[in-house]
A and B are shown apart, each in its own frame.
Chain A
Amino acid sequence: MSKPVLCFALILLLIPKGHSQQALPAAASPAASAKVVVFPPLVSVEQLQANARVHDLDSASFVSALQNAAKTNLTTRNFQLADSSGLLNSPEADLLKQLEPLTSRLARGSINDDAQQILGKLAARPDDYLLLVQFVRVKQGPGGSWNPYSGAITSGMSTTSFQAALISTRTGQVTWKNEVLERSVFSVDSPRFTKCVEQLYSTLAPKGGSQ
């Protein structure tokens, strides 16, 4: 093999093959001492139109599976989780509660004026946290079809999107975010759920490391 071909092959091997659409650069790595507060995941199931193919989905099972997946992915990446019972009695509890209605925005990494104000108050507190926010949106649409007379075909319109972001209370900045879209609807027992969650956290760098 000639040298230029070898160089090209090496470059190709070195290019990271991450699936992420929105991963932030490694420079924005999370603060070293901050503990992670895992927010209750928000799961929204919507019907796109009246004739949508409706799947019997259990939102509660999604919430608990997402919470477990988040904790597993964070601990395997050396993040320290905040003690939720201790946090309930902390002065930050009220401010964190105020952020919960903004979950769908925050999970996209979008911090609006309301969120900025609350994060500003949290920044003034002595304890430093990282907030993990997750949002799963299931859209149930019409299924696929085939008309044998005209040859017209259509594909199903249902989608499931997973969005997550890590926000520092110290800086009010998004330190990591990612999103995964799957063009189908599935339950938490499905291998597709596991695959989506793996893809979602695949771009989250271990604490203290780089991406």
Chain B
Amino acid sequence: MKSFTLKLSLCVLALVALPVNCLGKHKEPPDPKFLAIDQITIIPIVDLRVDKKDNINLDNLAKTAAGDLKQRNYATVLSGAKGVAGDIAEEDLNDAKPEWVKRLGPAEARWVMVIGLGDVHSKITFGSTGNAEVTGFLFDKQDGSVLWKGTGVGQAGQGGLLGMAFKGMMSEAAIESAFMNLFGSIPKMPKKGK
């Protein structure tokens, strides 16, 4: 009887604790700074690679980034305007000064995302593998601040003859995985209308 009561109390406790825990997770409000975002302007991808042997279509990468951000409920727009003179260097992004941030992207854009392609590499072993590294920065041009920054790395590969045959797809698969990891760290917005 004692054991039955103990089991029953544990079940009740579990049933009460579970929804409370779940509720707690979902009710966590996103950062108000992110809630204010109405549209993110993605400027052309910055190629920061030392090894540029793999031919990568940077325009397609920007589209991939826009798609990933859409899945996290952000409205995005692709822009061809960098806004700043010359090439954007990694040092510019890491030590971004407000005056520099305010010149990024089109004049009317407020939230600007800069994505840097750090590395892409594919190789044949007994199979084939691909690696990719991307970094992202979300700037608020109103005050010239960095709202978010992250790094995503992606690895892909398949062993055996089948893997060797798919070598050409490994870079792409690694980049997709890197983007997924990168945007995994940006807060997910509630769906519009909720």
Contact = CB atoms under 8 A, between A and B. Distances in A.
A105 interface: yes
B158 A155 contact: no
Given A159-B119, A179-B50, A181-B50, A153 B129 contact: yes
A110 B50 CA distance: 13
B158 A151 contact: yes
B151 A154 contact: no
B117 interface: no
Contacts, number: 68
Contact of B153 (A142, A144, A145, A153): A142
A154 B155 contact: yes
A157 B159 contact: no
Contacts of B133: 48, 139, 141, 157
A8 interface: no
B156 interface: yes
B127 to A, nearest CB: 5
Interface string B90-116: 110000000000000000000000000
A161 to B, nearest CB: 5
Interface in B111-162: 119, 121, 123, 125-127, 129, 131, 133, 151, 153, 155-160, 162
Given A48-B151, A105-B89, A153 B50 contact: no
Interface of A: 21, 48-49, 104-105, 108, 110, 112, 139, 141-142, 144-146, 151-155, 157, 159, 161, 163, 179, 181, 183
